[in-house]
C-alpha cells in the first residue's frame, strides 16, 4: 500500500540530522590525517601523507599494532571455541534448563568493564598474569564469549533440530554430528561471532589500562596515551587506519551473511 | 534410557569450557574485588557510610545520574527518529540508513572520542570555523566539560537505542496504520495514537539498555570530560590507580553493579532481556 | 435514503509495465451491495484501495454522488473500512477501537460513548467492550471491525475479504449477519472477495474481474444464468463447455452443430450472439442436466456411459463420457436419479433448449 503513512517533516529532518551526527564526526578524521600541518587541523596548502608515514615507520606504533593483532587473534580463538560449544549445548538442552547459563554468558555485556578491570587487577597479581600476553588474551577471550554465543544462537534458531535427530538416528556419534551436520550449517554465525569477538579485543582499552603496563602495550593503549599527551595528526592517521580496518571486517561479515542467505 | 542419558551428558559437557572460563576468570575476580568494599581498610560497612556522609561521593553519583538520564533522553529521541525513518523507508534507502547506524557502532570508541576532541576543542574545527565566519569572537567551551561528555556519549549510545526500537517498530503491521488513516486519522494522529503506543516496548527496552550502558561508561567521559567532570567509572579508576583507596573504589563499584541489576530487575517485567541483548550485541 | 452512489470512470492503475487495473467503469446505486469478485491478481483489491484512497489511480476517477473524490486523502473520504485480517489496534480495548474514528474526529466523550454502545449493540458485542482484541475469537474480531467501520456513519462501507480468515461454518453464519446488517442500515457496501458463493449470496451487484479488466457486471442471477464469457461461466459456479458451429442464430435461438449431433438452443434473454457458420461455445450448468428414464425424452438428448461418480449427500455428481461431446458433468438430486449410478453404466442425459447459453472465448 502506498501513501498510507510516512514521517512528517519534523521526523524526517531529525532523522537526517541524527544520521549526519552519527557519521560526519567520524569522517572528519580523514582530512585531518591528510593535513600538511604539524598540528591537528584541516589541510592548508595541500594534502600530505607524512603522518601515515610517521605511523607506519614507527617501531612503537608497529609493535603495538602487531601486539593488538596477535592478542585479538588468540582471544578470538578462545571466545569462538567456548562460545560456539556453549551455544550448541544451550540450543540442544531445553531452554528452561539453560536459562541460568545464558544469563551467565550475558554478564560481560551487562557489567561495565571498569568493574571487571579492577577485579582482574587484583586477581591476576597472585597468578602472575599482570602485564602478560596470556593475561590479556584470557581477559579479552572471556569477555568476547557473549558475542559468539549470541550470533551462533541466532544461527541455530534457524536450524531444524530434526536434522540433528536424524543424524543421530542414523548412527552418527555426537562428535560426528557436530562436525558433519551442525557446524557446517552454522558456520556463517560462527564467523560473524569471530569477527565481533576480534573487533571487541582489538578495540578494548579499559581492561588493558589495568592489567598491562610495559611489556604489553596494545594499540588502543597507545592511542589513549596519544590523546592524553600529544594531540598530533599522527593520531588521526592511526584513527583512519583503524576505521578502514573495521570497515573491511564488517564488509567481510556482510558478504558472508549475504552468501549464507 | 542409558544411551539417552549419556547423550545428554555429552551436550552438557559442551557448556563446560564457557561456563568454567566465565566462572573462574570473570565471576570470581569480580566477586573477590567487590568483597574488598567490606574488608578494607577495616572490616565493616565503613565505606558504605561514605554514601551518606561524603559530599564528594554524593556529587559523583548525582553527576553520573544526571548525565546518564540526559544521555538516555537524547539517545532515545534521536534513535527514535532514525528507527522511524528506517521502518518507513524503501528497502534500498533502508540499507543506507542501517549502515549509518551500524558503522559508528563498530568503530573504536577511542577513535570516536578522538574525532570529537578534534572537532570541539578550543582550537578545534568547530570553534575555528565559527570564529573565521565571525559568528563568535571567543572559542566556545565545547569539550572538557559536561557538554562534551554528553555529545560523545549520545553519539556512542544512539546505535544501541536504535536496534531495540527498530525491532519493535518492525513488528507493527503496516495495515494498522492504513486502517487508522482509512478510519479518518491524520498522519499526526496515526503516529500519536497508533504507532507511538505500539512502539513503546522498544522504547523502554532501548531506554534501559542505554541507561545501564551509560552508568559504567569510562573512556568517552574520561577523554571528553578532561578530568574535570567525574563520572563513577573514572572516579573508581582514580581511587584505585592513583589514590590506592581500594575500599572506597570497590564500594562504588558494588553500588554500580547493584544499580544496574536493580534497573534490569525492575524492567525485566516489561522487557525481554534476552531479546534486548540479542539485538544490542549483534 | 442514507446510502451514497459510487461510480468508477475509466479507472486505471499501472505499476511500471504492469497494469493492475485496466480501464474499469461501473456504477453502484444508493444502498446497494457491490462485490468485486475475481481470482488473486485480478485487480479487485487495487480497485477497493483506489476507492478508499490508499492507491492513487494512474488514470480515471472515483465519484461519490457525482462528486469527484479522486484527489482526497483516505482520512477525508469518510469511508468505513473492514480490512483483511481486521487490523484491530492491539493496544486498545474493543470500545477504544470502536471509538477511534470518533476520537480522531474530535467528538466529545459523551457522544463517543453513546455511539460506541450503539455500534457494539448492532454487532451484539456490548458485553466485550473492555476486552482486548486478542482475547476475542476470529468471528468476534470481525464484528468489532464492522462496528468500528460503521460507528461514524460512513458514506460507504468497504470490506476487504472480510470473511476469508474464518472457517467455513462461521463464514456462512457471518455472511447471513452481514446481509441482515446491510438490509437494516441501508448503506452502500463494497466488498472484495475471491469466494464466488459469498459473492452470489451477499450481493446486489457483482463485478467480475480478470487480469485487471472488468469482465462482466450485473446482478448475481443475471451473471449466473447468462455469463458472457467462458471465464465468467467457469469462475461463477461450474460449467460444461460444448464446442461446435453456430447454425441460423436469431433472436429466438440457434442450433449448435457438433460432429455427432445438433444441439438446440433457445435464448432466454439477451446473450452474446455467435456469427452464423462461425465457431461457437455453449456453457451448460451441470445441475440443468437430468438423467432420463427409459422412454423419457428432452429437447436435447445425449447418450454416454458413467465414467466416475460421487455421492454428495443431497445428490450425485456424475461424469459421463459421450461419443462426440467429450465428458459431461451432471449434478442431480438423489431423489430424482432413476438409477443408482455405477461406473460403466450406460445413461441418457437430457436438457432443455434454454438451459445452455452461448459464451465468448476469453481473449488470451
Query: What would the pLDDT profile of C299-334 be if each residue is shown by its tens digit?
Result: 999 999 999 888 887 788 889 999 888 899 998 887
Contacts of B189 in chain C (CB under 8 A): 104
Q: Is residue B260 part of a domain?
A: yes
Contacts of C74 in chain A (CB under 8 A): 4
Question: Residue B70's pLDDT is what?
Answer: 97
Residues A50 and A170 both lie in one domain: no
pLDDT, residue C338, reads 63
Of B156, B222, B145, the C-alpha closest to A205 is: B222
- The answer to whether A26 contacts B115, with C-beta atoms less than 8 Å apart, is yes
What does the block give as the cell for A93? 538442552
CB contact under 8 A, B118 and A236: yes
Pick from C208, C238, C212, C230: nearest CA to C220? C208
Question: Can you spell out the DSSP letters for A147-211?
Answer: HHHHHHHHHHHTS-HHHHHHHHHTT--HHHHIIIIIHHHHHHHHHHHHHHHHHHHHH--HHHHHH
> Minimal Cα distance from B179: which residue of C?
C87
Which of A1, A5, A6, A8 should be substituted to probe chain C, the one whose Cβ sees the most C Cβ atoms within 10 Å? Answer: A1
Check CB contact of B223 with chain A, cutoff 8 Å.
Answer: yes
pLDDT score of B3:
46
Q: What pLDDT sits at residue B212?
A: 93
Q: Do B182 and C104 touch (CB under 8 A)?
A: no
Please indicate whether, in this complex, the C-beta atoms of C149 and B197 are within 8 angstroms of each other: no
For B100, list phi and psi in degrees, rounded to 5: -60, -25
* For range C197-225, the mean pLDDT: 93
Instruction: Check whether C231 has a pLDDT greater than 60.
Output: yes
- Does residue A101 belong to any structural domain of this protein? yes
Cβ–Cβ gap C75/B182 under 8 Å: yes
Q: Choose among A11, A40, A224: nearest Cβ to B110.
A: A224
pLDDT in tens, chain A (261 residues): 434 456 678 888 999 999 999 999 888 889 888 888 888 888 888 888 888 998 899 999 999 999 999 999 999 999 999 999 999 988 888 777 788 898 899 899 999 999 999 999 999 999 999 999 999 999 999 999 999 999 999 888 887 777 777 777 777 777 888 888 888 888 888 999 999 999 999 999 999 999 998 899 999 999 999 888 878 888 889 999 989 988 898 888 888 877 766
Q: CA-nearest residue of chain B to C51?
A: B182
Interface contact C123, partner A, CB < 8 A: no
Could you tell me if A74 and A172 lie in one domain? yes
What are all long-range contacts of A62-68, with beta carbons under 8 Å and residues at least 24 apart? Answer: A63/A217, A64/A217, A64/A218, A64/A219, A64/A221, A64/A222, A65/A219, A67/A133, A67/A216, A67/A217, A67/A218, A67/A219, A68/A201, A68/A202, A68/A218, A68/A219, A68/A220
Instruction: Judge: B256–A112 Cβ closer than 8 Å, yes or no.
Output: yes
Chain A residues touching residue C81 (CB < 8 angstroms)? none
Q: Are residues A170 and A247 in the same domain?
A: no
Q: Is B17 within a domain?
A: no
Residue B194 lies in domain: 57-281
* Domain housing A234: 27-57+230-261
Residues C300 and C111: their CA atoms lie apart, in Å, by 66
Buried b (16+ CB within 10 A) or exposed e, A149-168: bbbbbbbbeebeeeebeebb
CA distance C313 to C309: 12
Q: Does B219 contact chain A (CB < 8 Å)?
A: yes
What cell was used for B159? 546505535
**Each residue of B58-97: pLDDT tens digit?**
999 999 999 999 999 999 999 999 999 999 888 888 888 9
**Average pLDDT for chain C:** 89
For residue B79, the model assigns a pLDDT of 95
CB C139 within 8 A of CB C178: no
Q: Residue C324: its pLDDT value, please?
A: 84
Residue range C142-156: mean pLDDT, rounded = 90
Q: Enumerate the residues of chain B whose CB falls inside 8 A of the CB of residue C153.
A: none
CA distance B83 to chain C (A): 20
Is C54's Cβ below 8 Å from some Cβ in A?
Answer: yes
Mean pLDDT, chain B, integer:
88
Residue C350 CB: number of other CB atoms within 10 A? 19
Evaluate whether residue B37 is within a structural domain: no
Q: Quick one: average pLDDT of B200-219?
A: 93
Spatial contact of B195 and B172, defined as CB atoms under 8 Å apart = yes
Question: Taking CA C129 as the corner, what is the angle to CA C128 and CA C132, rounded to the nearest 5 degrees?
Answer: 80
* A16 found inside a domain: no
Mutate to test the interface with A, among B6, B12, B13, B25 (most CBs of A within 10 A): B25
Say whether B218 sits in a helix, a strand or coil: coil
Contact of C356 with C258, CB cutoff 8 Å: no
Residue A8 placed within a domain: no
For testing the chain B interface, which of A2, A14, A22 should be mutated: the one with the most B CBs within 10 Å? A22
**A53 touching chain B per CB within 8 A:** no
CB contact under 8 A, C103 and B193: yes
Tell me whether residue A201 is in a domain. yes
Do B184 and C148 make contact, defined as CB atoms within 8 angstroms?
no
Please tell me if residue C55 touches chain A, with a CB cutoff of 8 Å. yes
pLDDT tens digits, B122-173:
888 888 889 888 888 888 888 889 999 999 999 999 999 999 999 899 989 8
Q: Which domains does chain C have, with CATH numbers?
A: 6-230 (3.40.50.300), 231-359 (2.40.50.140)
Residue B253 confidence class, pLDDT cut points 50, 70, 90: very high
The reply to whether B5 falls in a domain is: no
> At C208, is the pLDDT very low, low, confident or very high (cuts 50, 70, 90)?
very high
Same domain assignment for residues A175 and A74? yes
Q: Are residues A49 and A128 in the same domain?
A: no
Judge if A169 and A120 occupy the same domain: yes
Q: Does residue C1 have a pLDDT over 70?
A: no
Q: Is ipTM > 0.95 here?
A: no
The model's pTM: 0.81
pLDDT at C278: 87
- CA distances C342 to C2, C296, C307, C337, C346, Å, are 57, 20, 8, 12, 9
**Domain count along chain A:** 2
Cis amide bond preceding B41, omega within 30: yes
- Are residues A89 and A52 part of one domain? no
- Considering the domain architecture, whether residues A172 and A81 belong to the same structural domain is answered as yes
Q: What is the tally of structural domains in chain B?
A: 1
Question: Is residue A71 domain-shared with residue A186, that is, in the same domain?
Answer: yes
> Is the CB of C56 inside 8 Å of chain A's CB atoms?
yes
Residue B183 with chain C: CB contacts under 8 Å: 75, 80-81, 100-101, 104, 148-149, 152
CATH number at residue A142: 1.10.3720.10
Mark yes or no for CB contact B193/C84 under 8 Å. no
Which CATH number belongs to the domain containing residue B139 in this structure? 1.10.3720.10
Same domain, yes or no: A81 and A31: no
Question: What burial class does residue C332 get, using C-beta atoms within 10 Å of its C-beta: 0-12 exposed, 13-18 middle, 19+ buried?
Answer: buried
| Residues of chain B found within 8 Å of residue C46, distances taken between Cβ atoms | none
pLDDT at residue B161, rounded to an integer: 94
Residues A86 and A31 in one domain: no
Quick check: is B25 in a domain?
Answer: no
Which chains are adjacent to chain A, needing at least 3 Cβ pairs under 8 Å?
B, C
Q: Which cell goes with A31?
A: 582530512
In a domain, A187, yes or no: yes
Q: Which residue of B has its CA nearest to C103?
A: B185
Q: What is the predicted pLDDT for the residue at B274?
A: 59
Dihedral Cα B152, B154, B155, B160, nearest 10 deg: 140
Q: Greatest CA span in chain B, whole angstroms?
A: 84
Q: Which of C52, C91, C145 to mutate to test the interface with B (most CBs of B within 10 A)?
A: C91
Using DSSP's 3-state secondary structure scheme, residue C356 falls into strand
Question: Which of A18, A93, A209 comes nearest B11 by C-beta?
Answer: A93
pLDDT of residue B2: 44
Indicate if A149 and A202 belong to the same structural domain: yes
CB B183 within 8 A of CB C148: yes
Residue B7 has a pLDDT of: 56
Q: In this complex, do A2 and C74 lie within 8 Å of one another by their Cβ atoms?
A: no
Q: What is the dihedral of CA A71, A72, A75, A77, to 10 degrees?
A: -120
What does the DSSP 8-state code read for residue A6?
Answer: -
- Residue B280: pLDDT above 70? no
SS3 call for C331: strand
pLDDT on residue C165: 77
Calculate how close chain A gets to B66, using CA atoms only, in Å.
18
Total CB pairs under 8 A between chain A and C: 12
A82 touches chain B (CB under 8 A): yes
Does C49 reach chain A within 8 Å, measured CB to CB? yes
Helix, strand, or coil (residue C255): strand
Amino acid at each position: 500500500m502506498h501513501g498510507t503513512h510516512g514521517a512528517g517533516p519534523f521526523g524526517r529532518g531529525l532523522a537526517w540530522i541524527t544520521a549526519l551526527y552519527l557519521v560526519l564526526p567520524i569522517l572528519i578524521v580523514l582530512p585531518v590525517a591528510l593535513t600538511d600541518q604539524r598540528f591537528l587541523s584541516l589541510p592548508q596548502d595541500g594534502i600530505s601523507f607524512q603522518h601515515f608515514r610517521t605511523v607506519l615507520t614507527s617501531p612503537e606504533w608497529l609493535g603495538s599494532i602487531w601486539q593488538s593483532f596477535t592478542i585479538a587473534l588468540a582471544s578470538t580463538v578462545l571466545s569462538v571455541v567456548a562460545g560456539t560449544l556453549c551455544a550448541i549445548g544451550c540450543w540442544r538442552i531445553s531452554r528452561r534448563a539453560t536459562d541460568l547459563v545464558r544469563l551467565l554468558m550475558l554478564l560481560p555485556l551487562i557489567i561495565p568493564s571498569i568493574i571487571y578491570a579492577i577485579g582482574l587487577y587484583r586477581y591476576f597479581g597472585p597468578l602472575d598474569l599482570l602485564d602478560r600476553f596470556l593475561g590479556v588474551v584470557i581477559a579479552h577471550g572471556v569477555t568476547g564469549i557473549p558475542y559468539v554465543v549470541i550470533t551462533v544462537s541466532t544461527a541455530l534458531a534457524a536450524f531444524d533440530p530434526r536434522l540433528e535427530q536424524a543424524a543421530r538416528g542414523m548412527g552418527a556419534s555426537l562428535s560426528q554430528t557436530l562436525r558433519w551436520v551442525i557446524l557446517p550449517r552454522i558456520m556463517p554465525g560462527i564467523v560473524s561471532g569471530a569477527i565481533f569477538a576480534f573487533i571487541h579485543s582489538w578495540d578494548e582499552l579499559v581492561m588493558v589500562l589495568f592489567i598491562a603496563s610495559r611489556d604489553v602495550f596494545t594499540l588502543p593503549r597507545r592511542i589513549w596515551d596519544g590523546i592524553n599527551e600529544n594531540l598530533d595528526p599522527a593520531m588521526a592517521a592511526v584513527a583512519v587506519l583503524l576505521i578502514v580496518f573495521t570497515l573491511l571486517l564488517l564488509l567481510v561479515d556482510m558478504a558472508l551473511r549475504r552468501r549464507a542467505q | 534410557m542409558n544411551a539417552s542419558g549419556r547423550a545428554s551428558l555429552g551436550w552438557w559437557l559442551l557448556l563446560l569450557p564457557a561456563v568454567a572460563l566465565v566462572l573462574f576468570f570473570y565471576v570470581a575476580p569480580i566477586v573477590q574485588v567487590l568483597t574488598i568494599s567490606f574488608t578494607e581498610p577495616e572490616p565493616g560497612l565503613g565505606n558504605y557510610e561514605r554514601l551518606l556522609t561524603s559530599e564528594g561521593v554524593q556529587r559523583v553519583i548525582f553527576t553520573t545520574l544526571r548525565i546518564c538520564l540526559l544521555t538516555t533522553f537524547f539517545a532515545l529521541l534521536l534513535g527514535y527518529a532514525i528507527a522511524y525513518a528506517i521502518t518507513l523507508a524503501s528497502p534500498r534507502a533502508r540499507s543506507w540508513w542501517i549502515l549509518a547506524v551500524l558503522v559508528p557502532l563498530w568503530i573504536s570508541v577511542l577513535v570516536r572520542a578522538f574525532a570529537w576532541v578534534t572537532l570541539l576543542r578550543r582550537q578545534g574545527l568547530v570553534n575555528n570555523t565559527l570564529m573565521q565566519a565571525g559568528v563568535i569572537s571567543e572559542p566556545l567551551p565545547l569539550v572538557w566539560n559536561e557538554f562534551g561528555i554528553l555529545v560523545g556519549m549520545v553519539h556512542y549510545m544512539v546505535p544501541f537505542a536504535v536496534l531495540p526500537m527498530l525491532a519493535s517498530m518492525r513488528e507493527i503491521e503496516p495495515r494498522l496504520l492504513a486502517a487508522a488513516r482509512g478510519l479518518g486519522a491524520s498522519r499526526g494522529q496515526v503516529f500519536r495514537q497508533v504507532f507511538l503506543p505500539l512502539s513503546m516496548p522498544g522504547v523502554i527496552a532501548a531506554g534501559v539498555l542505554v541507561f545501564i550502558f551509560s552508568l559504567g561508561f569510562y573512556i568517552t567521559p574520561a577523554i571528553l570530560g578532561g578530568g574535570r567532570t567525574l563520572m563513577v567509572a573514572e572516579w573508581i579508576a582514580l581511587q584505585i590507580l592513583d589514590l590506592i583507596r581500594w575500599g572506597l573504589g570497590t564500594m562504588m563499584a558494588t553500588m554500580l553493579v547493584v544499580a544496574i541489576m536493580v534497573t534490569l530487575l525492575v524492567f525485566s517485567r516489561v522487557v525481554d532481556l534476552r531479546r534486548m541483548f540479542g539485538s544490542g550485541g549483534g | 435514503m442514507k446510502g451514497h452512489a459510487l461510480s468508477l470512470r475509466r479507472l486505471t492503475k499501472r505499476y511500471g509495465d504492469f497494469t493492475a487495473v485496466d480501464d474499469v467503469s461501473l456504477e453502484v446505486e444508493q444502498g446497494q451491495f457491490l462485490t468485486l469478485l475475481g481470482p488473486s491478481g485480478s485487480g479487485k483489491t487495487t480497485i477497493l484501495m483506489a476507492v478508499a484512497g490508499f492507491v492513487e489511480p494512474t488514470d480515471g476517477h472515483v465519484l461519490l454522488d457525482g462528486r469527484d473524490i479522486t484527489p482526497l486523502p483516505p482520512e477525508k473520504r469518510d469511508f468505513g473500512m473492514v480490512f483483511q485480517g481486521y487490523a484491530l489496534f492491539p493496544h486498545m480495548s474493543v470500545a477504544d477501537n470502536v471509538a477511534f474514528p470518533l476520537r480522531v474526529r474530535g467528538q466529545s466523550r459523551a457522544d463517543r460513548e453513546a455511539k460506541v454502545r450503539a455500534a457494539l449493540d448492532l454487532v451484539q458485542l456490548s458485553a466485550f467492550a473492555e476486552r482486548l482484541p486478542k482475547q476475542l475469537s476470529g468471528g468476534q474480531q470481525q464484528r468489532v471491525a464492522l462496528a468500528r467501520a460503521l460507528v461514524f456513519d460512513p458514506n460507504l462501507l468497504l470490506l476487504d475479504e472480510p470473511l476469508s480468515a474464518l472457517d467455513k461454518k462461521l463464514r456462512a453464519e457471518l455472511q447471513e449477519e452481514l446481509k441482515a446488517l446491510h438490509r437494516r442500515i441501508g448503506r452502500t457496501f463494497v466488498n472484495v472477495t475471491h469466494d464466488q458463493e459469498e459473492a452470489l449470496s451477499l450481493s446486489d451487484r457483482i463485478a467480475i474481474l480478470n487480469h485487471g479488466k472488468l469482465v462482466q457486471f450485473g446482478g448475481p442471477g443475471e451473471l449466473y444464468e447468462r455469463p458472457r464469457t467462458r471465464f465468467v461461466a467457469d469462475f461463477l459456479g461450474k460449467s460444461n463447455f460444448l464446442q461446435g458451429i453456430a447454425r441460423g442464430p436469431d433472436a429466438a435461438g440457434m442450433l449448435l452443430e457438433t460432429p455427432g449431433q445438433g444441439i438446440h438452443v433457445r435464448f432466454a434473454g439477451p446473450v452474446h450472439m455467435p456469427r452464423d457458420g462461425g465457431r461457437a461455445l455453449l456453457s451448460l450448468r451441470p445441475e440443468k442436466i437430468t438423467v432420463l428414464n427409459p422412454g423419457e425424452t428432452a429437447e436435447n438428448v445425449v447418450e454416454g456411459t458413467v465414467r466416475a461418480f460421487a455421492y454428495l449427500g443431497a445428490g450425485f455428481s456424475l461424469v459421463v463420457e459421450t461419443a462426440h461431446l467429450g465428458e459431461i458433468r451432471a449434478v442431480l438430486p438423489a431423489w430424482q436419479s432413476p438409477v443408482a449410478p455405477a461406473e460403466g453404466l450406460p445413461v441418457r442425459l437430457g436438457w432443455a433448449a434454454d438451459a445452455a447459453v452461448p459464451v465468448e472465448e476469453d481473449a488470451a
